[in-house]
Each structure stands twice: as C-alpha cells, then as structure tokens.
C-alpha cells in the first residue's frame, strides 16, 4: 500500500549508486530517481540531467504548451532547466533530455524547520492551483520534490505534471496530507520535534498514526478534522477496496475548492519558536561585548583567509556567524540541533531577503543517515558534504562533554566534511563548560588546550591560533592534512 | 487539454496513478471537496453581486456627473 518516495533532485553528485545499473561509463543514474516511469535524473561530467521517457512525451508537451511551465518559472515556484541535446541521453529509450539548474545542496524534509516545511507545502499547493488553471494536475505531491534554492522553496521535479482527466480526483491528495499537512499539524499541535518522524517514514507519516498522535482539540479545527482525522478513518475503512471511478469523480470547481481548503488548513498552522534550550543562547553568551566583537572580526578574517565558496556553520544557532560568511558572498548551510533556533534563523533570513544561507535542523551527534532503498535513496550528511570551510564555533564542548565524543573522533569527523576548519576551543573554566559539568562527573581528562592540539593534529595542521580577546577561549584556523 | 475517459482508458485507469492514491483518500476528498465548495460558491456569488452593484453605482454617478 505504500506509495513511492519520488524524484531525485539535481544537487551535488551522489556517490556510486549501489543498485542502479549504469548505461554508459560517463553517466551515472541518481540512486533516488527510479520510481516514476516518466523519466529520471542522472549525472554526467558532474552535471545533473533529466531524461524524459516516451511515455511522458504528451504530458511534457502539454506542460510547456499550456504556458504552465513559464508561469511557474515567473512565480519562482519551479526550478529552471535548459534543453540538452538528445545525444546527452542516458540510454536509447530517451525521448528528450533537459539539464536542470544545479542546486548548491540537497536537503531533506526531516532536516527542515517548521516554517520551511510549511513553505514547501504552500509551494506545492500553489503549483497544483496553477496546474488546474492550465488543465493539468500534479501527479505526486512529495516533500522530496521541493528543495530550497536561493532562499526559497521550489519544486524541482518538472515531470510531476500531467494532463488532467475530466472529473478525476487529485491522486496526490493522500501523499500531500502524509508528507505535509499531517507532519505540520503534529509539529504545531503536539511537539515540533515530531518533524523527525519524516526520517522514519520517508514516504510520509501515515494518517492513522497522525490522527492518533494529534490532540483531541484538532477535531474542532475543520481543516484538520476533514483532511487528517476523517481522511484517516476513510483510509482504514476502504483499505484494500478499489475505488470505483464514479464514486471518486470530482468536478474542476470542487478540485479548486479542495486545494483552497488545504491551503487554508496549512496557513492556519502556526508554531511559536520558544522554550527550547538554545534559542536564547545568542543573547546569553558567557563572554563580554568586546570579546564577541573580536570573535566576529577574527571569524571574518579566518573565512577570508580560508577562501572557497561553500561554508557549513555547525551549531549555527540563530546565524550570527553564518551572516558574516553570507556577507562575504559565501553559500552557507547553517545547521543547528535546536528547531526553535533554526526556525528563528529561517524567519530572519526571509525577512531580510538573504538568499545564500540555508538553515537546517541537525543533531551532529546523530546526523542524517543514508535512507530508503539500498541506503542510497536519501543520502547521509557525510555523503552530501561539499563545504570548503566548516565553522564550529562554541560547539566543541557540546560534542566532547555534552555528547561524550572523544576529541580525536570529533577531529576525524570534521576532517571528512571540509578541507578547512575554523573551530573554537572553549576551556573547562569557561562558564558554559562549567554549566555542562555541573551535573555530571568530569571524566574528560583530555579536554584541554593541549589535548585539543594533540587530537586535531592527526587530521589537521594549524594555519592560525588566536586567543579570543577578553575571554579564555581560543580560535583556530585549521587545514586538513 | 483534458483527456477524458473512454479513449482506451478504463474506469479503473481513471483513478490509478504511479503512486497509490488510496481508495479511502479518493472517496473522502470527493466528500470534503463537495462541502468546502459550498462556501466558496456563495463567496464567489456574493463578491460577483457586490462588484455588479459597485459597477452600477459608479455608472450612475458618472452619468449624474455628465448630466450635471
């Protein structure tokens, strides 16, 4: 009964797929792109391409001729593409080939903040509303068909549209509710951390589970009662019974009303990012204003010295230092374990119109693994590592003391992420470390400046080491050996 | 643009997709859509009526000004 986890997205090239045959030595099929018979993504010379199969030719022609593609591009709802010559095809079955605009980074719904998942839902509904106007429809509504590009949620699977059948219902309705509405309702009404359910249920959280987990008061929200609770009951009741076409028939006006109702249900979902451990951290640093200003200057200097284009800010909180990298023109991925901090960061970026920072929710002590078919459909964080520089500020003590990860293991992991590392050593006499040690035995004999140097020297050489002014902390710029 | 039924496609094809749409989902969306379409229908009719009234009164004002 489970539906698919749709299309792969054109980001950085994945490593060798485990279970997908190769047609040509120079082309590599994307391991996440195999479910939809309309076509698939593959890689050639480090660039993403999308092969369109003959079965999809009429729908593709309609997609272009109806003006839907142009309208979606104009509204910034879909990722752009260029036509590519047929000789670039992956195999002889190709009907057409397009080259989608490459993405800086592929992120997954279980790494998004509440606001990001909500924006992705609204983009999907916008695309469907536009499609209905043009006589087409979305044949799938997977959250994996959305990516964040230049600060905005965009649909990346151009093969998701098909010509609408007169009277046909929306076949992706269930998928939309399981990928978007259900998880958003759980995050808003129960606990924002339930967004992580999408990591276990990569084809969306089943509606029976969503309905069971939601509080009773959601029955009094018309949109949630209908699209989630009653929907879950209908699914259970008609399980294994095929729907007769007549009973499922839906006029275009009713389809438009359905999409409007879903939009209203999504828009009414709100979450206030407060009450988590780190959300106020930026306002409660343990060092003085002078130390903070000095740290900002030093971080900027180290980023300039390190060069490169892509920066990963680990433990970014609300993005104070990500913003410095962004102002230098770097493309930044800002990870934080705290969904509230990441959400505030996302909202601030949207409000300020910053396009080159992508905040994501991630627990570095348990980073996103490889998931889905053959462990390669959704890639692990390490497989997606493409940074030139990693920023790890006020982070080390959380990993080494808060997470009991030995310093050599922290160093080894950092070395897999980027060739340059800007890292802050926070000693045991710093108030933040003292706070961590207040409720536990100090079993961290190696946690010292000397221990740090010894551990990290196995993987890195020191480019610069500067004590932070007016603080016991030390900032390092390291280069991978 | 629409393909419609009856061109070599059966009634079952009509609701089949490459993903499993789910029988219950197909049926419940019909019910929900019918319900939510009612207020949308009335809202559309009311706003049409308001627009028509405004247009009429604007035309009346215009002709009164011309007459004056």
User: What string of DSSP letters covers A32-75?
Assistant: T--S-TTEEEEEETTEEEEEE-GGGHHHHHHHHHTSHHHHHHHT
pLDDT at residue A348 in the model? 96
Question: pLDDT tier at B14 (50, 70, 90 boundaries)?
Answer: low
* Residues A22 and A30: beta-carbon distance below 8 Å: no
Q: Verify whether the Cβ–Cβ distance A258 to B32 is below 8 Å.
A: yes
Which residue of chain B is at minimal alpha-carbon distance from A253? B37
- C-alpha R_g of chain A: 24
User: Tokens 């792109």 sit at which residue?
Assistant: A33
Question: pLDDT tier at A24 (50, 70, 90 boundaries)?
Answer: low
Helix (H, G, I), strand (E, B) or coil at A347: helix
Q: Measure the CA angle with vertex A463, ends A462 and A469; round to 5°.
A: 95
For chain A, the residue count is: 481
Chain segment A395-444, per-residue pLDDT in tens:
999 999 999 999 999 999 999 999 999 999 999 999 999 999 998 899 89
pLDDT at residue B2 in the model? 40
* Residues A436 and A401: beta-carbon distance below 8 Å: yes
Helix (H, G, I), strand (E, B) or coil at B11: helix
What integer best gives the mean pLDDT of chain A?
Answer: 91
pLDDT at A129 over 70: yes
Question: pLDDT tier at A274 (50, 70, 90 boundaries)?
Answer: confident
Contacts of B68 (CB under 8 A, 6+ apart): none
Range in A214-218, A250-254, A408-412, B3-7 the model is least confident about = B3-7
pLDDT at A23 over 80: no
Range in A116-130, A215-229, A402-416, B6-20 the model is least confident about = B6-20
Quote the strand ranges of A45-196, DSSP E: 47-52, 81-84, 96-100, 136-138, 146-149, 152-155, 161-163
* Residues A339 and A113: beta-carbon distance below 8 Å: yes
Q: What is the percent of chain B with per-residue pLDDT over 90, rounded to a whole number? A: 9
Question: The dihedral of CA A128, A134, A140, A145: what is its sign?
Answer: negative
Q: Verify whether the Cβ–Cβ distance A234 to B24 is below 8 Å.
A: yes
Range in A39-48, A118-127, A310-319 the model is least confident about = A39-48
pLDDT at B19 over 80: no
Return the percent helix, strand and coil in chain B, to nearest 5.
Answer: 70, 0, 30
Bridging pattern class, strands A136-138 and A161-163: antiparallel
Question: pLDDT tier at A276 (50, 70, 90 boundaries)?
Answer: low
pLDDT at residue A193 in the model? 95
Question: The dihedral of CA A199, A201, A202, A205: what is its sign?
Answer: negative
pLDDT at residue A315 in the model? 96
* Residues A8 and A100: beta-carbon distance below 8 Å: no
Would you give the DSSP letter of residue A400? I
Contacts of A8 (CB under 8 A, 6+ apart): A30, A31, A32, A33, A40, A41
The strands making up A310-314's β-sheet, listed across from edge to edge, are: A357-361, A331-336, A310-314, A389-392, A420-425, A474-480, A460-467
Helix (H, G, I), strand (E, B) or coil at A454: helix
Q: How far is B31 from chain A (nearest CA, A)?
A: 9
Which of B4, B20, B41 has its CB closest to that of A2? B20
pLDDT at residue B6 in the model? 42
**Is the ipTM, as predicted for this complex, more than 0.85?**
no
pLDDT at B25 over 70: yes
Chain segment A290-342, per-residue pLDDT in tens:
888 889 999 999 999 999 999 999 999 999 999 999 999 999 999 999 999 99
Q: How far is B55 from chain A (nearest CA, A)?
A: 26
pLDDT at residue A11 in the model? 63
* Residues B34 and A256: beta-carbon distance below 8 Å: no
Q: Verify whether the Cβ–Cβ distance B26 to A243 is below 8 Å.
A: yes
Which residue of chain A is at minimal alpha-carbon distance from B23? A243
Question: pLDDT tier at A354 (50, 70, 90 boundaries)?
Answer: very high
Q: Verify whether the Cβ–Cβ distance B24 to A168 is below 8 Å.
A: no
Packing angle of the helix pair A407-417, A449-456 (nearest 10 deg) = 50
Chain segment A67-89, per-residue pLDDT in tens:
999 999 999 999 999 999 999 99
pLDDT at residue A244 in the model? 58
Q: What is the mean pLDDT of residues A5-10?
A: 52
Q: What is the mean pLDDT of residues B14-40?
A: 83
pLDDT at A190 over 70: yes
Which carries the bigger pLDDT value, residue A21 or residue A232? Answer: A232
Range in A192-206, A415-429, B38-52 the model is least confident about = B38-52
Q: Measure the CA angle with vertex A268, ends A263 and A272; round to 5°.
A: 135
Question: pLDDT tier at B21 (50, 70, 90 boundaries)?
Answer: confident
Q: What is the mean pLDDT of residues A283-287?
A: 61
Which of A140, A166, A174 has its CB closest to that of B4? A166
Which of A324, A445, A453 minimizes the C-alpha distance to A389? A324
Distances (CA, A) of B13 to A167, A281, A435, B9: 13, 56, 63, 6
Give A135's contacts in chain B (Cβ within 8 Å): 1-2
pLDDT at B40 over 60: yes
Question: pLDDT tier at B44 (50, 70, 90 boundaries)?
Answer: confident
Q: How far is B43 from chain A (nearest CA, A)?
A: 12
Determine the residue among B1, B6, B7, B26 to mutate to test chain A binding: the one whose Cβ has the most chain A Cβ atoms within 10 Å: B26
Q: Verify whether the Cβ–Cβ distance A173 to B27 is below 8 Å.
A: no
Chain segment A462-478, per-residue pLDDT in tens:
999 999 988 889 999 99
Q: What is the mean pLDDT of residues A106-131?
A: 97
Range in A39-43, A187-191, A223-227, A291-295 the model is least confident about = A291-295
Contacts of A259 (CB under 8 A, 6+ apart): A125, A128, A129, A132, A170
Question: pLDDT tier at A22 (50, 70, 90 boundaries)?
Answer: very low
Give B22's contacts in chain A (Cβ within 8 Å): 1, 174, 235, 238
pLDDT at A365 over 70: yes
Bridging pattern class, strands A96-100 and A460-467: unpaired
* Residues A456 and A472: beta-carbon distance below 8 Å: no
Q: What is the mean pLDDT of residues A198-219?
A: 96
Give A249's contacts in chain B (Cβ within 8 Å): 30
- Chain center to CA of A401: 28
């Amino acid at each position: 009964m489970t539906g698919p986890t749709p299309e792969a997205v054109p980001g950085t090239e994945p490593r060798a797929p485990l279970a997908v045959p190769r047609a040509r030595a120079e082309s590599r099929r994307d391991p996440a792109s195999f479910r939809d018979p309309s076509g698939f993504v593959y890689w050639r010379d480090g660039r993403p391409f999308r092969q369109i199969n003959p079965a999809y030719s009429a729908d593709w022609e309609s997609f272009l001729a109806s003006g839907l593609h142009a309208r979606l591009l104009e509204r910034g709802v879909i990722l752009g593409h260029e036509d590519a010559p047929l000789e670039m095809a992956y195999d002889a079955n190709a009907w057409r080939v397009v080259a989608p605009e490459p993405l800086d980074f592929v992120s997954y719904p279980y790494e998004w903040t509440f606001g990001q998942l909500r924006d992705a839902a609204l983009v999907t509904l916008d695309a469907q509303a536009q499609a209905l106007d043009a006589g087409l429809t979305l044949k799938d509504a997977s959250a994996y068909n959305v990516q964040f590009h230049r600060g905005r949620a965009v649909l990346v699977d151009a093969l998701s549209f098909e010509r609408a059948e007169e009277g046909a219902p929306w076949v992706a309705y269930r998928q939309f509710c399981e990928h978007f509405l259900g998880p958003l309702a759980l995050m808003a009404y129960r606990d924002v951390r339930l967004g992580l359910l999408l990591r276990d249920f990569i084809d969306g959280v089943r509606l029976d589970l969503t309905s069971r987990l939601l509080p009773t008061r959601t029955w009094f929200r018309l949109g949630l009662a209908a699209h989630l609770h009653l929907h879950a009951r209908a699914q259970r009741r008609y399980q294994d019974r095929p729907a007769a076409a007549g009973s499922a028939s839906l006029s275009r006006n009713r389809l438009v009303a359905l999409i409007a109702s879903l939009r209203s249900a999504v828009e009414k979902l709100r979450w206030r990012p407060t009450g988590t451990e780190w959300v106020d951290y930026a306002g409660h640093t343990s060092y003085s204003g002078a130390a903070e200003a000095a740290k900002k200057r030093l971080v900027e200097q180290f980023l300039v010295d390190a060069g490169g284009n892509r920066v990963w800010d680990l433990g970014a909180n609300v993005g104070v230092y990500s913003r410095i990298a962004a102002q230098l023109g770097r493309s930044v991925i800002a990870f934080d374990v705290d969904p509230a901090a990441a959400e505030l960061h996302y909202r601030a970026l949207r409000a300020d119109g910053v396009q080159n920072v992508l905040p994501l929710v991630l627990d570095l002590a348990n980073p996103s693994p490889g998931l889905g078919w053959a462990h390669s459909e959704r890639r692990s964080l390490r497989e997606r590592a493409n940074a030139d520089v990693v920023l790890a500020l006020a982070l080390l003590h959380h990993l080494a003391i808060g997470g009991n990860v030995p310093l050599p293991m922290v160093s080894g992991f950092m070395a897999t992420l980027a060739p340059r590392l800007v890292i802050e050593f926070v000693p045991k006499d710093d108030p933040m470390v003292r706070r961590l040690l207040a409720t536990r035995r100090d079993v961290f004999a190696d946690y010292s400046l000397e221990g740090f140097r010894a551990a990290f020297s196995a993987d890195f050489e020191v480019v610069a080491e500067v004590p932070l002014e007016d603080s016991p902390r030390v900032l390092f710029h390291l280069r991978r050996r | 643009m629409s393909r419609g039924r009856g061109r070599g496609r059966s009634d079952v094809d009509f609701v089949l997709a490459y993903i499993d749409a789910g029988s219950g989902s197909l049926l419940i969306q019909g019910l929900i859509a019918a319900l939510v379409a009612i207020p949308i229908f009335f809202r559309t009719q009311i706003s049409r009526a308001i627009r028509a009234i405004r247009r009429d009164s604007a035309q009346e004002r215009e002709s009164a000004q011309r007459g004056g």
